[in-house]
A and B are shown apart, each in its own frame.
Chain A
Amino acid sequence: MQNTPISPAKGNKKLLNKLSTRNIEVQTCYQCARCSAGCPVADYFDLQPMEVVRLAAYGMEDQLLASTTIWLCASCDTCATRCPNDIDITGLMDVLRELALRKGVPAAVPQVPAFHLSFLDSVKRWGRTYEIGMIGAYKLRSGDFTGDMKLGLSMLAKGKLSLLPHSIEGKPEIREIFAGKGKEYER
């Protein structure tokens, strides 16, 4: 972790309120490190899960939103499952990612949000995931044009990727879901 001065006095109250409305009780953390010990991706993080929880308890939003951790977390729920104080650490990561996107904070691992947004664009357009369209959009967004070319072709040859999207009848309802309305945006 970077050697930056951390002061609870400078903490972001709004973040703390938001976490408490989602029942993410970061204040109950006593730094036992079970979350960090069990995390399969922790080797790649700049902040360990237990550091994320402690920084969140201090309301240190800027450090958190700039971290690689929030984007490299695979959302496997091992940390939250093993936390003796039932802190929803996976939910905490969700809140931080959503905040980073809404506030336009540059992502420390930009290809990860590029993937999520491409995936969701495909759902928004068709109602279901259209893998080929999603992969194309991801490659454009991330600039990773050559990665996994061989794997993609092999999956195509094995009939694992449908050429045409599966479109649903209720697309207008789906578009409404993506219209940026709803209580969660006001929280």
Chain B
Amino acid sequence: MKMTYYPGCSLQGTARDYNDTIVEICEAIGVRLSEIEDWNCCGASSAHMTNHEVAMQLSIRNLLLAAKNGSDILIPCSACYQRLKAADKALRENPEYWDVTDYNPEFKLVHISSFLAEPEILALISEKVIQPVGKMKVACYYGCLSLRPPHITEAASHEMPTTLENIVTAIGAAPVSWSHRTECCSGSLTMTRPDIATTLVAEIVEAARRGGATAMVTDCPMCQANVESRQETALERAMPVYYATELIAAALTGAYPEKQQKVHLVSASALQTHMEQAAQNAGAKLETSAQEEESV
């Protein structure tokens, strides 16, 4: 399968590990990614919050470049996804207003989690799992922009999404039921009003703990950075926030490398611990079943 790829700026900077694991997974399941040539920043929140014309034109340039490839566009960043979807929708409705002629490409814009949670893709992933991640209790955290507003994102269920839960279940984790899955972490205010971000993040992390989670799993690069960086607890006791793709890549390779753990801003060894335990338990089970067979 071939897909056009729009990584976006975060995945070249603060979320480089997100990008690495996406590329790794796509290679493993036979999805060929071809990056939009010379793509530009989508403008993210800053552009649409202050300048509608610039926000639209930045995304339109990317869409017109992507139209050369034709195949569906895979977009991992929630903000990029929402911005490109908004521009795509506006162009399809009224291309003339934006001085674009004949905008009717066959491609769809696909958010990473909707893609990975498709039954065929999940089946491909499950087939290749070397080591399940071992019943780790995770709080799946969606944040805002891949879901809202639903008339733009076309999210299947914007208040009760299940894509992340379906993904982590397929690789052996145990998603918990909790209250703040789609609450905003105020990522767009994290630099300008860290006090607000700290308060909102504390509420979200507390809710995840209340749900019984030892880690959070997300698909949004802003949420990942904001929730890890704005916790005021000691780094060893803070809640790690993994990308769903980190869990998948670990399950596909059988290990969660130290190098990758170190990219996290808080201690992120929970995944490795769970995988090692799961491997031991599986070994022990094999032994018992072997003994049982002998005794029979």
Show the binding face of A for B, using Cβ within 8 Å.
22, 40-41, 44, 72, 74-78, 80-81, 88, 90, 93-95, 97-98, 101, 109, 111-117, 119-120, 123, 127-129, 131, 135, 138, 142, 147-148, 151, 154-155, 158-162, 166, 168-170, 173-174, 177-178, 182-185
Q: With A97-B49, A98-B51, A123-B41 given, is the CB distance from A44 to B196 under 8 Å?
A: yes
Closest CB in chain A relative to B206 CB, distance in Å: 14
Can you give 10 contacting A-B residue pairs, CB < 8 Å?
Answer: A75-B45, A81-B148, A81-B158, A97-B49, A101-B51, A112-B189, A115-B46, A160-B13, A160-B263, A166-B9
Closest CB in chain B relative to A183 CB, distance in Å: 7
Closest CB in chain B relative to A31 CB, distance in Å: 21
Q: With A128-B9, A128-B41 given, is the CB distance from A185 to B53 under 8 Å?
A: yes
Which among B13, B48, B148 is the interface contact of A78 at CB below 8 angstroms?
A: B148
A residues within 8 A CB of B9? Answer: 128-129, 131, 166
A76 with B40: CB separation less than 8 A? no
Q: Report if B252 contacts A (CB, 8 A).
A: no
A residues within 8 A CB of B188? Answer: 74-75
A120 with B193: CB separation less than 8 A? no
A residues within 8 A CB of B13? Answer: 129, 131, 160-162
Closest CB in chain A relative to B98 CB, distance in Å: 8
Q: What residue in chain B is nearest A40 (Cβ atoms)?
A: B184
Which among A120, A151, A159 is the interface contact of B43 at CB below 8 angstroms?
A: A120
B27-62 vs A, CB cutoff 8 Å, 1 = contact: the mask equals: 000000000001111011111111111101110010
CA distance A135 to B190 in the complex (A): 12
A41 with B186: CB separation less than 8 A? yes
A138 with B191: CB separation less than 8 A? yes
B50 with A116: CB separation less than 8 A? yes
Closest 4 CB pairs of A and B: A184-B53, A76-B184, A77-B148, A129-B9
> Interface size bucket, B side?
35 or more
Q: With A116-B46, A173-B61, A178-B54 given, is the CB distance from A155 to B14 under 8 Å?
A: yes
CA distance A154 to B238 in the complex (A): 16
A109 with B193: CB separation less than 8 A? yes
Q: What residue in chain A is nearest B152 (Cβ atoms)?
A: A77
B43-83 vs A, CB cutoff 8 Å, 1 = contact: the mask equals: 11111111111101110010000000000000000000000
Q: Report if B247 contacts A (CB, 8 A).
A: no
B2-36 vs A, CB cutoff 8 Å, 1 = contact: the mask equals: 00000001101111100000000000000000000
CA distance A10 to B231 in the complex (A): 47
A168 with B14: CB separation less than 8 A? no
A residues within 8 A CB of B110? Answer: none
B residues within 8 A CB of A78? Answer: 144, 148, 184
CA distance A183 to B14 in the complex (A): 35
Which among A97, A114, A174, A185 is the interface contact of B40 at CB below 8 angstroms?
A: A174
Q: Report if B150 contacts A (CB, 8 A).
A: yes
A residues within 8 A CB of B97? Answer: 183
Closest CB in chain A relative to B47 CB, distance in Å: 6
Which among B48, B57, B189 is the interface contact of A177 at CB below 8 angstroms?
A: B57
Q: With A151-B229, A154-B265 given, is the CB distance from A97 to B200 under 8 Å?
A: no
Which among A109, A116, A148, A161 is the interface contact of B14 at CB below 8 angstroms?
A: A161
